[in-house]
Structures are given as structure tokens and as C-alpha cells.
Structure 1
Amino acid sequence: MTRLAARAALTLAVSVAAVSCQFVTGLHDMHVDDSIGCGPAGTPCGGTCASGQETPPGTCGDDGACSAEPRSCAPYACDAGGTACATSCSTSRDCSDAVCDTSSGTCQACEWTPDDSVPEVVKSCVPDGGGTCSEFGIDMANQSVTLDASEHPVVLRCNGDQCNGALVTCRGPFPCEVICNDNSCEDLDLRCSDTGRCSLKCNGSGCSGNVKVTCKANSCSVDCRGLNDGPTHPSIHRECGSSCSCSETPECGDGGGGGGGGTP
């Protein structure tokens, strides 16, 4: 063999060895992309829960598909471990587009109330002559009041200049409503309860100024259909939060937030 031929043979051998090393290294670095499918056939799959969808434990088929089909957890959400649907609730965060009845530990459909047969209690805020509200014993200007809806639905009616600048907080699982008639509820701040249905109704020139409604887990609505004219048209800011149903009529101005859903 000539010196030139020997050098060519040596170069070829080195090149083949280098390619072989690269090929082996490539095999070592290869991995299976689980997003394409599962496998090999017969291996476990599923046993996960995410975004309210549970995939029970199953096995991979010859076609690369898991034998377990995803299913919705509704009205529950996924459990804390992210492996299955929750089977009980302690707060509405454990429910999916639903409300937690903490007394029974069960998720209830949106707009749930403990007992529809319980009559509502209407509170009319009547001034006692000294600028205070005799029903609650507070000054109506820039003061706070709690509406206790723990045992029955409660409605607060505000008239004239009543409830201007007031902070009204609802408490309990029963429905809570504030009705604002002419010239009332200017700069009102309404904060809904964690579980009860909540609503604000504005009549005539009620709800002028910057009115705020903070929603929670249950349905939350603002009704301003009586307001269509002049400078008293309201600006209402509504924070839907995790409300399972958060609505505002178009006539309520442009201060509303987005739709609700999910958990508080």
C-alpha cells in the first residue's frame, strides 16, 4: 500500500469512528415526548387532575392513547394533590363554578340558598331626626353597617340621601340585597358575603357617584334599569372576583368588571 493510500484509509477510519460516536451519543440523549402519546403499550397512565378535569388511572394502548378518558369534576374542583376530583368542600375554592354549603360540605349549584322558604326581612333605613339611622344606630354619612343574612334573606332600602358614602357588608349564606331609591346611595360601597347571593338595585336617581360592588362566590348582580337620563347616570365599579355568576345590565354605565367563575 502506498503512503497516500494508507493516509486515506486512516482518515476514513477516523471519520467513521467519529460518526459512530455521534450516533451513540445521539441515542443516549434521545427521550420520549409524552405530549405525542403514551407508551409503550401496557404502561400506566392517568391518575391526574387539573383545571377541573380528572383522568383516572389507566394503561397505554398500542395506538399510544391512554385507556382512561378525562371527565369533569363539576361541581367540585380537583383535590389538593392534583390526582382526583374533590369529594367535599370547606370553602367555595373546592368547587367548580359552584358554591360551598359549609354546613354539609357539599358544592351547590350557582344561586344556591340554604332554604328558599324562609321569608326575607326588609330593613328601611329611617332617620331618627338626628341624622342617624334608627334601624342600625349609625350615621348614614360615610359609616358602615352589616346586614346579617345568616338565618334569613335581608333587604336594605335606602331613600333620599340615606346610605350616601356608606360601607354595607353582607354576612351569611342567605340572599342580601340593597335597594337604592331617588338620591340615595351616592358613593356606596357594597361588599357581598362569602357564600350568599348578592344584589344591588338602583331606582330613579339612586346610586349616583362612584358606587362599588365587591362580589364573592355566589351570584352577584347590579340592576340599574331605572337609570337612563341626565347627569345622574351612575358609574358603578363591580369586582366579580370568583363569583359563579356576575352580571350587570348594560344601562349601568361602563364601570363594571369582567365575568366571574372559579374559586374565591
Structure 2
Amino acid sequence: MTTPDWMPPGVDAELPSAARIYDYLLGGAHNFASDRAVADRLLAVDPGVRRIATLNRAFLRRAVLFLMSQGIRQFLDLGSGIPTVGNVHEIAHQVDPSTKVAYVDYEAVAVAHSEMILAGVDNTAILMADVTEPHLVLDSPKIRGLLDFDQPIGLLALTLFHYIPPQRKPFQVIAAYRDALAPGSHLAVSHFTDDLVHSTGDGLVDTMKTTQNNVFPRSKDEITQLFAGFDLVDPGLVPISLWRPETTMDGGDDPSRDGQYAGVARKK
């Protein structure tokens, strides 16, 4: 097999990753045969998986634009994944090029491609770190050198926390980030749930067990706990297609199969 020129040293191409599977579902090119095989199995279990990925990308755009309308001019994107068209800095810089965007991920392909995309782009940074170790992110000179934690920050945690198992204490993880944020900061979350996938949820979870990223679906009440210390803005925590849709395409055709809840909240 010919090694792609974008493949970082030490990456195991045989071990699928959620970031690369997501990249494939969105039509990206930074994935391996092992990732595509898992994605195809996911699609066989539920053909709506690609729709779930697309709806999440649309929510990212709406959330970033909403936060900018609230005066946010700096973002911390946790578990940012592999850059594809419509990343946070691309959306934000169309509104205000001075907006600062820091990405964080631990997946080598995601970080390497981010470094390539962000080379020469002002007001951006990418940090390779495990977001479940908040001090590694919050104490990083790269992050502290870009973001001003005395000013409001838009904290993005999209399709992130459903990959964090209970033993890694996800609610304590998000609390550590919350406590580091200034009042007026906002949190945006999307999270996989069995509530909105009908009978296919177990099949999706079982399929992801063959990757390096297991999935831990949570109920609406559990996901709401991630927003402790924040006030949810309208319309609250809802199926992802129902969070302030701008077009009929944003809204999807059946919110009961969205697969994820999404919400945005403001720190008190």
C-alpha cells in the first residue's frame, strides 16, 4: 500500500478512528480503508448515519454564527477532528478576521492536517492533547498565548462527549473547562443519544467498538448535566436539526431520527 503524503509517522492505518470515519462520511479524503469499512458497516446498520454527520456540520456553522452575534470573538474547539470545508476559523473569519480560534485534538491525522491547513492563517492554533485532561489544554502556552481567558470564549464540544466513557468522568471534565471561562462565555454541545435513533442505536455502538473510539450514548437528562453552570439559550437542548434551523435542509425531514441532541448555553 502506498503511504499517503499526508499520513503522519506512527499512525496505524489498520485501526479505525472516529475522526477519520467522520471525515469519510462528510466526503473528505483523509481516511483509510479501515475507516471506510467501518463507515460502510455503520451505513448498513443505519443509512441515516451520513445524515447525522451532515446535520452536525450544519449545526457547527449555526452555533458559531450565533456565538459571534453574541459578541464572541475567540473559540476553543475541543475534539476538533479533521478539517474539512466549513471549519470554525473559516466561518468566523468571514464575519471578523480578527477572531481567534484554537483547535484541540489527539488524533494524529487530524492534528497533522490541521497544521497544514492553518499554516500562515493568522489568529489560529492547533494543539495535540487529550481533552479529557483539561490541564493539558488550559495550561498550554499555545492556548494561553492565543486566547484571553479573562474575556468570553466560545467553547465547542461537538460530537465529543459521547466518546468519553463514564470512568473518565465527563461531567468533571466539562466542569474544569467551565470554571476556566469568563462570565459571558458560551458552550455548544452535540451528543449522540439512543433517544433519537430508534432500534439502531445498539448496532451503531457495537460497530464503533471495532475502532479506537467507543461510543457512549446518553439520555437528554444526562446530556443536560453537561451544561451545569450555564444557562441554555432558546430553544434549549433539542434534536440537532431543530436548533435554530435556517433552511429546510438544516431542519432535516425527521428530527426523531437525528441521532444527536444539540444545545448552546451561556455561562452565568
TM-score range, shorter chain: under 0.3
Q: Report the structure, 1 or 2, having the larger strand content.
A: 1
Structure having the larger proportion of residues in helix: 2
> What's the TM-score once normalised by structure 2's chain length?
0.23
Q: Quick check: which has more Rg, 1 or 2?
A: 1
Q: Which has the higher contact order (CA 8 A, sep 6+)?
A: 2
